[in-house]
Amino acid sequence: VLYELHVRDFSASDPSVPANLKGTFKAFTLLGSNGMRHLRSLALAGLTHVHILPSFDISSVNEDKSTWQTPAGNLSSFAPDSTEQQSRVQAVANADGFNWGYDPWHYTVPEGSYSTNPDGPARIKEFREMVQGLNKAGLRVVMDVVYNHTNAAGQNAKAVLDRIVPGYYHRLNGNGEPETSSCCPNTASEHRMMEKLMVDSLVTWARDYKVDGFRFDLMGHHTQANLLNIRAALDALRPNRDGVDGAKVILYGEGWNFGEVANNAQFLQATQVNMAGTGIGTFNDRLRDGARGGGPFSGIQEQGYLTGLFLDPNATDQGSPATQMARLLYTTDWIRAGIAGSLASYPFENAAGVIGPASAIDYNGQPTGYTAIPRESINYIEAHDNETLWDTIQFKASPAATVADRARIQNLGIALIGLGQGIPFFHAGADLLRSKSLDRDSFNSGDWFNKIDWTYASNNWGVGLPSAEKNQSNWPVMQPLLANPALKASPANIQTAVHQLREILEIRKSSDLFHLPTAADVASRLRFWNTGPSQVPGVIAMTLSDADGAFDKKVRRIVVIWNARPGAVDVADSSLGGLKMKLHKVQKSSYDTAVRTSTFTSATGNFHIPGRTAAVFVEKRNGQDEDDD
């Protein structure tokens, strides 16, 4: 279970961290800080890895902190929909201490701006201390790596590789110039020595810094062979010789298919479909788009399963009710496939009533199911890229939806990711209703728009209109939202979300049925019902069965029902009639009082689920009560 976090975001705004350690690797060694206490609580609940955004040496931040500038004036004095905050942040955006860091300078050196002293060995020691601090909190560390491009090429002062062998390390076009489909000079990892650079670098991070996993930026721009050779090199690391078991290092990345290498034009790419069967994960955009609605490049108010498509429409024109319902049922199948680990072979009844494999369902011209092993699906609904889930909900939800309704939508999204097969991936602050004040690309938006408040007092909503450069065309839609005081989340709303993720992780951790290892296991043990053309729209119902006790010695059956409808719903499965099923013990005492009212009627096999709620029921073995240990 992954939690994506930016090094500077983690502590820059944390009042419990000393000023000289804010935004540094060392902040992760303060086990009593607000941020580390939050991570520790997640680890106890079931979080396994913290995924840190790029932390190698980057080009965009001056490591001499004495040069850093801060926005002028008191930004909190301006209105929630003012243009002043973004104007002042952008005025110093290239001279402050903030950047996401997707601009490599030296691949195998820790970033100096995250150390207490960029000159000398401090950055090396402190990166290792960060890893150690997270390990002490019960967490492993994934590092975001960006081998697909460099910050600069040619004779630029920040171009490293072209000064070794000019023209070799970059992929060149027909004019002999570097390809730039990644927005920077693309590297040519199909060349032997660029691949060797990647392998040697990754082995160094794993062996000498004890990094437990790697997330590859734009992995589809690399070859499948690159990733397999990296896997083999890491697998060769041995605890007795190297101090690390390389086979336990996890690999995943962005398997997007675009640019000059698209459709295997130059080599067999490391894309979603091509990585099936390798055990290397790729991000699942099918589940993401079905849940949120639309896509990264579609209308910002286009609704989806979570955000009210057909069930609670907003004021935009998204077609007739019949059109909306048809789209909801169709895209809900994208979500079901994701819950089943996006397995290409997984069979279920689709919205048209046809029983077939998930690969037969179309996702924008691609197969919805594309993996061969459940863990190859990285299931997510929010990441550092694009709007946070909270900001997406603010755009898409019905104007009639209250802030409490919107918080329930977010919490339902957390349950959608956390209770499926595959690997759940959460953006840091998703469990705090995190907002970036509607910023869709906050890579250079400073601490102001990227703030995380580990005290749970605020989620950073309504701190001004986001940067004109990336968002100005949507300002007319944003302004009334940010100015509306009724859309501001309260500390109580935030606290409920904090508890929601912990409870979902506890439920996931309680049974191995939530992380089945093979496609055969998923096919034989996971069954969806309430499917096909006559389904109750907005309700996803799943049964996990373990009659032979292979995965859970205490539980025979688990039922999970996600209800995205605004109101309560009753759904029945006659095959479950007569069984003794009870609400999961975590939810019996849930911080959310609504989920506690979920019920099962044995005589009819009927489940009653409150609106915008995910409920989990279990059947214990040998007639045990659910609370029995």
Phi and psi for 433 in degrees, rounded to 5? 55, 40
Q: Which of 381, 500, 384, 493 is nearest to 431 (CA)?
A: 500
- Whole-angstrom distance, CA of residue 153 vs CA of residue 462: 40
* Three-state SS at 28: helix
- Say whether 260 is catalytic: no
How many Cβ atoms are within 10 Å of 509's Cβ, its own excluded?
17
Token representation of residue 548: 């032979």
Q: Which of 525, 564, 522, 526 is nearest to 332 (CA)?
A: 564
Q: Which string of DSSP letters, residue by residue, matches 529-594?
A: ES-STTS-TTEEEEEEE-TT-SS-SSEEEEEEEEE-SSS-EEEE-GGGTT---EE-HHHHT-SSTT
User: What one-character DSSP code corresponds to residue 371?
Assistant: B
Q: Which residue is catalytic, options 14, 81, 212, 217? A: 217
- Whole-angstrom distance, CA of residue 44 vs CA of residue 201: 32
Token representation of residue 10: 């983690």
Cβ atoms of 422 and 374 within 8 Å: the answer is: yes
Strands (DSSP E) found in 347-444: 347-349, 355-357, 362-363, 366-367, 377-380, 423-427
Residue 186, exposed/middle/buried by CB under 10 A (0-12, 13-18, 19+)? buried
How many Cβ atoms are within 10 Å of 175's Cβ, its own excluded?
5
Q: Which of 103, 25, 90, 108 is nearest to 61 (CA)?
A: 103
How many Cβ atoms are within 10 Å of 133's Cβ, its own excluded?
21
Q: Which string of DSSP letters, residue by residue, matches 600-615?
A: EETTTTEEEE-TTEEE
Query: For the stretch 216-250, what's the b/e string if a residue is b when 16 or more beta carbons lie within 10 angstroms of its beta carbon?
Result: bbbbbbbbbebbeebbebbeebeeeeeebebeebb
Give the number of C-alpha atoms closer than 13 A to the C-alpha of residue 159, restricted to the C-beta side: 19
Q: Which residue is catalytic, options 254, 333, 546, 626? A: 254
Q: Which string of DSSP letters, residue by residue, matches 18-65?
A: -GGGTTSGGGGG-TTSHHHHHHHHHHHHT--EEEE---EEESSS-S-G
* Three-state SS at 357: strand
Helix 403-418 crosses helix 491-509 at what angle (to 10 degrees)? 20
- Whole-angstrom distance, CA of residue 215 vs CA of residue 524: 31
Beta bridge partners of residue 380, listed in sequence order: 425
Cβ atoms of 315 and 300 within 8 Å: the answer is: no
Phi and psi for 290 in degrees, rounded to 5? -65, -40
Q: Under 8 Å CB-to-CB from 125, ≥6 apart: which residues?
A: none
Phi and psi for 47 in degrees, rounded to 5? -65, 140
Token representation of residue 263: 């459709």
Q: Which of 426, 397, 399, 400 is nearest to 413 (CA)?
A: 426
- Say whether 552 is catalytic: no
Rg (the chain; Cα; Å): 24
Angle at 503 between CA 462 and CA 410, to 5 degrees: 30
Instruction: Look up tokens 């401090």; give the residue.
Output: 122
Residues designated as active site = 217, 254
